[in-house]
């Protein structure tokens, strides 16, 4: 007995010692983090590198362990980038901006918002230079805002127009006997078309061509104005890939000169007038320049809804009615908050969760002005939660609409039959049932189709009421059709073209508030098990990075598209497939 007591005491003492050591290391890490203060030096150039993922909202995790051990994901927040550029415009220590990024990990709407802000920065009289070995199309669109654009003598510019590739799985399904059973409403509701067809439908080709052309016109118009190249000439350059080497890029005025990195540094020295220091956008934000200070007591709440919509709590990467509705209620109850801006960046998802969020926003709108700001995507369920706002603001390059509904269920009947597996069912009642191992029955299809039609009707009615249109007017531009923000204006789905700042300004006007500060929602906090579950707290392990490295980018994209469908629950109001614009 004494032996057991000693053994238990030893085990308990071991775990207590491990815990105390862990707390000790946390404290050391926290102290080291506090001492690492960023100082902006005089005669500095702000370096804008957007190769890390750009999210509309990337709050610092409230969990002390995550913060101390620097386990936050590497990402940039759009709102902080825009604030930092504004602050740099007035900062005497910042002499100019250098755009030197290997890639732009942001959507077109986010990139357009940053480009607009950089254009405003030039009004201060400070310079913007851009340099790269190789420019991707999105990177060049951003960099073309600069006063001078430079390229490596053996570099190139990928400027060839927009394209989008969609993978179709029907032949794969027929070959292996596993397929998706689909019930949908909307002739343009192509979220499930790849599971039904082997090639693109004319309706789908029509809508993709339309919104790609709309986004491309925004890109060429922007480049035309800053580079002084006619749009017609830009299209000729794109048709013939006339940025494919430095010599052609200079000839066609896409860049100003072909130089090496050291020569670019010399140009920055000349522009600053002396030896200069550089500070990254991340460090500039860390120095406190990623936010705007205000002594005002009134507030405008900005609630960020980013990611696919799921039924449940949600997190920083997924919109759940749990966290979002809690944030809406907090903003409504806060007497200092005079108006609410909902920033939507979502392809949609759960129809039920969308309806629950819509309801909470409908209640909030009765108390305070509600304005929606659309980011890269505000489609299907993303539009559902936006449609009842007092005002909807979208970027011209926003992808929106997709007012349609579908249900999809995996079915392995043919595969199981080929493998000699037979499934038998026993039920107490005669209601329509579904089995993974049996063909979908007419009764089950009819019941599910009825649910899809009911949700589609509800969706269209929500839009009609919110947008002050008739059911027929909405139905005519719905059917799952996707629009660019610029196109959506003409269809009555969007009120104003602009970015998040425009939405905030409009919200302040509706609330009759002139001086205010911004209050961001929601707050996210990882639970202890989420932070450390499955790996050592002293080793950063990123599952996505491991999969990308193992599968390659294209195969990883395919994996993600297929993997998303296994988590879909209930009827979906979701955007057509995963649109990747290149």
Q: Tokens 């539009």 sit at which residue? A: 383
DSSP character for 440? P
Q: Are 250 and 244 in contact (CB under 8 A)?
A: no
Question: Rg of the chain's alpha carbons, rounded to an integer?
Answer: 26
Catalytic residue flag (residue 346): no
How would you classify the pairing of strands 348-350 and 572-574? antiparallel
What does residue 178 show for φ and ψ, rounded to 5 degrees?
-120, 125
Strand order in the sheet with 318-320: 179-185, 405-411, 572-574, 348-350, 308-310, 318-320
* Number of residues that this document lists for the chain: 582
Catalytic residue flag (residue 189): yes
Of 380, 402, 416, 484, the active-site residue reads 380
CA angle 376, 379, 383 (to 5 degrees): 110
CB atoms within 10 A of CB 338: 20
Residue 441, helix vs strand vs coil: coil
d(CA 360, CA 139): 39
Nearest by Cα to 371 from 411, 331, 407, 321: 331
Tokens of 91: 């900062």
Instruction: Estimate the crossing angle of helix 202-227 against helix 231-239, to 10 degrees.
Output: 120
d(CA 162, CA 239): 11
Strand order in the sheet with 44-48: 257-258, 148-157, 127-135, 94-99, 44-48, 277-280
Residue 398, helix vs strand vs coil: coil
Tokens of 258: 């072909």
Of 80, 116, 126, 189, the active-site residue reads 189
Nearest by Cα to 504 from 492, 486, 494, 517: 517
Burial 19-43 (b: 16+ CB within 10 A, else e): eeeeeeebeebeeeeeeeeeebeee
d(CA 224, CA 238): 13
Cis before 522? omega within 30: yes
Q: Are 27 and 21 in contact (CB under 8 A)?
A: no
What does residue 581 show for φ and ψ, rounded to 5 degrees?
-95, 130
Nearest by Cα to 293 from 58, 515, 517: 517
Where in the sequence numbering do the catalytic residues fall?
189, 380
């Amino acid at each position: 007995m004494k032996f057991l007591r000693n053994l238990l005491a030893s085990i308990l003492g071991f775990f207590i010692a491990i815990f105390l050591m862990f707390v000790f290391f946390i404290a050391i890490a926290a102290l080291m983090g506090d001492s690492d203060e960023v100082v902006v030096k005089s005669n500095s150039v702000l370096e804008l590198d957007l190769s890390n993922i750009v999210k509309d909202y990337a709050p610092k995790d409230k969990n002390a362990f995550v913060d101390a051990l620097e386990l936050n994901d590497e990402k940039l927040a759009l709102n902080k980038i825009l604030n930092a550029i504004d602050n740099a415009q007035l900062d005497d220590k910042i002499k100019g901006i250098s755009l030197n990024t290997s890639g732009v990990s942001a959507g077109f709407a986010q990139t357009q918002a940053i480009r607009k802000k950089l254009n405003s920065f030039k009004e201060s009289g400070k310079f913007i230079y851009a340099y790269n070995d190789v420019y991707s199309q999105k990177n060049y669109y951003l960099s073309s805002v600069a006063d001078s654009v430079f390229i490596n003598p053996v570099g190139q510019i990928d400027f060839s127009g927009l394209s989008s590739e969609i993978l179709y799985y029907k032949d794969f399904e027929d070959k292996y006997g596993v397929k998706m059973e689909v019930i949908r409403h909307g002739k343009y509701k192509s979220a499930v078309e790849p599971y039904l067809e082997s090639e693109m439908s004319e309706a789908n080709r029509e809508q993709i061509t339309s919104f790609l052309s709309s986004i491309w016109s925004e890109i060429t118009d922007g480049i035309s104005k800053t580079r002084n190249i006619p749009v017609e000439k830009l299209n000729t350059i794109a048709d013939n890939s006339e940025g494919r080497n430095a010599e052609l890029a200079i000839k066609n005025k896409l860049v100003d000169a072909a130089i090496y990195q050291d020569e670019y540094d010399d140009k920055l020295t000349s522009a600053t007038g002396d030896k200069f220091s550089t500070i990254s956008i991340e460090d500039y934000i860390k120095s406190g320049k990623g936010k705007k200070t205000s002594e005002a007591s009134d507030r405008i709440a900005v609630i960020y809804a980013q990611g696919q919509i799921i039924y449940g709590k949600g997190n920083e990467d997924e919109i759940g009615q749990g966290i979002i509705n809690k944030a809406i209620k907090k903003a409504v109850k806060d007497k200092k908050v005079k108006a609410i801006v909902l920033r939507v960046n979502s392809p949609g998802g759960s129809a039920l969760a969308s309806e629950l969020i819509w309801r909470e926003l409908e209640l909030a709108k009765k108390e305070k002005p509600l304005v929606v700001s659309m980011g890269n995507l505000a489609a299907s369920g993303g539009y559902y939660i936006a449609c009842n706002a007092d005002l909807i603001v979208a970027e011209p390059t926003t992808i929106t609409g997709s007012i349609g509904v579908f249900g999809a269920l995996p079915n392995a009947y043919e595969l199981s039959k080929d493998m000699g597996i037979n499934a038998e069912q026993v039920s107490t009642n005669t209601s329509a049932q579904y089995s993974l191992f049996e063909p979908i029955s007419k009764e089950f299809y009819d019941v599910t189709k009825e649910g899809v039609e009911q949700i589609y009707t509800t969706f269209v009615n929500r839009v009609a009421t919110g947008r002050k249109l008739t059911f027929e007017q909405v139905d005519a531009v719905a059917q799952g059709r996707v629009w660019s923000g610029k196109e959506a204006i003409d269809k009555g789905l969007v009120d104003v073209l602009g970015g998040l700042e425009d939405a905030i300004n409009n919200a302040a006007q509706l609330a009759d508030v002139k001086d205010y500060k911004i209050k961001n929602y929601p707050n996210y906090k990882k639970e202890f098990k989420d932070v450390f579950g499955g790996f050592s707290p002293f080793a950063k392990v990123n599952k996505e990075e491991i999969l990308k490295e193992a599968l390659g980018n294209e195969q990883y994209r395919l994996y993600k598209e297929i993997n998303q469908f296994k988590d879909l629950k209930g009827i979906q109001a979701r955007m057509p497939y995963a649109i990747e614009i290149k």
